[in-house]
Amino acid sequence: MEDMHDLQSVIADTDPDSWIEALPTYQRDSILQMRARGVSYDEIAQIWIAAGSSATAPFSSGSPPSADPTFLDKLRTEVRAYLCGEKRYEKDRKQILASGKEMQTFVVGALAVAIAPYVGAASVVIAPIIALLLANIGKVSLNAWCAISDKP
């Protein structure tokens, strides 16, 4: 799978915190403050979801992710499907690889837009969580993450 190999390079060649840097300031600053206190990417994702509608209501048309205790698992499953080669995301992966400049911003946005309908949340709500997942993946490798994460 050429797409997966190219995505693997994009993720492997990227500093994990640069995924967070790709977020808008109002999201990035909160996450970076937690990182400075030693909070892990996974813990921040849980905190972000638990913040619920107070932090995300202006951007979402559905119920807040905090209403669904399996939301993060659903999101991880879709990110895995996207990054690990599931056919329904093939066109989206090709667009990412053709994007060129500002790769992190484009990747986070493209994943959020493609995955949002499958998890029932607005893309702007899930973008920070996707950036956190990508940062976490960057600490290992895409192949290793695909091998150890649950299959969609």
Encode pLDDT of 127-149 as tens digits. 999 999 888 887 667 777 777 76
Q: Do the beta carbons of residue 21 and residue 104 sit within 8 Å?
A: yes
- Determine the angle formed by the axes of helices 2-12 and 90-98, rounding to 10 degrees: 50
SS3 60: coil
- The structure tokens 């905090």 sit at 66
Encode pLDDT of 35-54 as tens digits. 999 999 889 988 888 876 44
Residue 55's pLDDT is what? Answer: 47
Mean pLDDT value across the chain:
78
- pLDDT above 70 covers a percentage of the chain that reads 76
Q: How confident is the model at residue 31 (pLDDT cuts 50, 70, 90)?
A: very high
State if pTM tops 0.85: no
- Please classify residue 126 by burial: count the beta carbons closer than 10 Å to its beta carbon, then call 0-12 exposed, 13-18 middle and 19+ buried: buried
Q: How confident is the model at residue 59 (pLDDT cuts 50, 70, 90)?
A: very low
CA separation for the pair 3, 74 (Å, rounded)? 23
Domain ranges within the chain, ordered by starting residue: 2-53+62-148
